[in-house]
Amino acid sequence: MPTALAALEEAYARRGARTAASTRLSVSMDPSVSMGPAVSTSPAGDRTPVVGYVGADVPVELLTAAGVHAVRLTGDPDSGSVLGDRYLGRGVDPMARSVLTRLLAGSFGDLDRIVVSHDCEASLRLFYALRELRRVEPGTALPEAYLVDILHLPHRTTARYNRRRIGEFAARLEAWTGRPLDLAGAVAAHDERRRLLTAVAELRRAVPARLTGRQFLAVANAALPVDEHIALLERLLAEAGRLGEHPGRRVFLSGSDHDTPHVYETVESEGYVIVGEDHSFGDLFLGEPVGAGGLDALAEHYHHSGPTAHRATVGERAAHAARAVRHCRAELFVGYSRIGDEAPAWDFPAQRAALDIPAVLLERQEYGRADLAALRKEHPCAV
């Protein structure tokens, strides 16, 4: 039997591939609603709806509660983005352009729906493009796209707005599937996964680190149903004593999202170990538990989710960086800003001022690439 880490890395390598949903589910989307073909069936022949989602603010607990197979859609820096460039324009974050290109190419297999959150401008632009392409170019065979518009202003009116949006999404899922949501069970499962991932994150924060940043990215984003993910996380923690040690210079990576391992692999190939980050595919994916409280608690959770560059103030980002750097005992702070995603670079001066460790900014980077010239010059690390 492979180790839990090997199994999680294999599941991570499958993310974004043509979808093969779990056959243990047995719910159906409402047949009265137009939709594409299902990609998998249970032994009894029941359809397993597959929902692709984009963005950090999609309440995945509701997707689990609806009994659908949820797949976070990711780009691919190595496959180009010609179609995405055509419909979104080259000024939009290339990660979003890559996701659209892959959707139009059928790279994710047959999806029944796409859910997009308003976590950043690029996600919103992607949603509008998907909606219009479905309307004016039906030959693209894109599924219906739905926007979950969660806002993050610190106001009661924003909280009420978010609660309405969460309620509407829950109602839409019930209409799609024709069944009530098992919200309590889904929240409990996702909270358990958060608890286990938080424990796994401590393995990376150990001195020396017991997981690399690339490995943690795989562990956190393995393409698995929640219950299977939980089982492998439990095994990983039980096998922690067998993990290797990674004594490289400890880096905290801040800035743009990383939906692929490319940048992590580039940085760590130079002898660094990424022990923490502040994007939604890494440490910010963990967050606080939702707990009891139903839709109200879920709305509050996503209202106050992590301080990304697109929805937090410069001061909030700097304060978070200082806390996180201390927590993971980083020795070097690396800010990373991708072309088409300039917001993280605006935070860097305040972040650097709040830190007591060296900091370097890698800005205007190509999607999935890291030009380490500045890092090598200012903070060399022997491999």
What's the CA gap between 227 and 224, in Å, rounded? 8
Q: Is the dihedral of CA 186, 187, 188, 189 positive or negative?
A: positive
Nearest to 346 by CA among 324, 327, 320, 364: 364
Q: Is the link from the previous residue into 208 a cis peptide, with omega within 30 of 0? A: yes
Q: Which of 329, 321, 294, 306 is nearest to 208 (CA)?
A: 329
**pTM to 2 decimals?**
0.92
**Coil, strand, or helix at residue 102?**
helix
Q: How many residues does the chain have?
A: 383
Question: pLDDT (tens digit, 0 to 9) for every residue of the chain, 383 residues total?
Answer: 899 999 999 999 998 766 544 333 333 444 333 333 334 444 444 677 999 999 999 999 999 999 999 999 999 999 999 999 999 999 999 999 999 999 999 999 999 999 999 999 999 999 999 999 999 999 999 999 999 999 999 999 999 999 999 999 999 999 999 999 999 999 999 999 999 999 999 999 999 999 999 999 999 999 999 999 999 999 999 999 999 999 999 999 999 999 999 999 999 999 999 999 999 999 988 889 999 889 999 999 999 988 988 889 999 999 999 999 999 999 999 999 999 999 999 999 999 999 999 999 999 999 999 999 988 877 777 55
184-378 — its CATH code? 3.40.50.11900
CA atoms of 282 and 318, how far apart (whole Å): 18
3-state secondary structure of 206: coil
For residue 49, the model assigns a pLDDT of 93
- Structure confidence at residue 378 (pLDDT): 75
List the domain boundaries for the chain: 18-181, 184-378
CA distance 19 to 135: 24
CATH 3.40.50.11890 assigned to domain 18-181? The reply is yes
- Residue 181's φ and ψ, nearest 5 degrees, are -85, 140
Q: Which one, of 236, 197, 335, 330, lies nearest residue 279 by Cα?
A: 335
- Asked if the domains 18-181 and 184-378 are classified in one and the same CATH topology, the answer is yes
Classify 374 as helix, strand or coil.
helix
Q: For residues 64 and 189, is the Cβ–Cβ distance under 8 A?
A: yes
Q: Residue 31, SS3?
A: coil
pLDDT (0 to 100) of residue 46: 66
pLDDT (0 to 100) of residue 15: 86
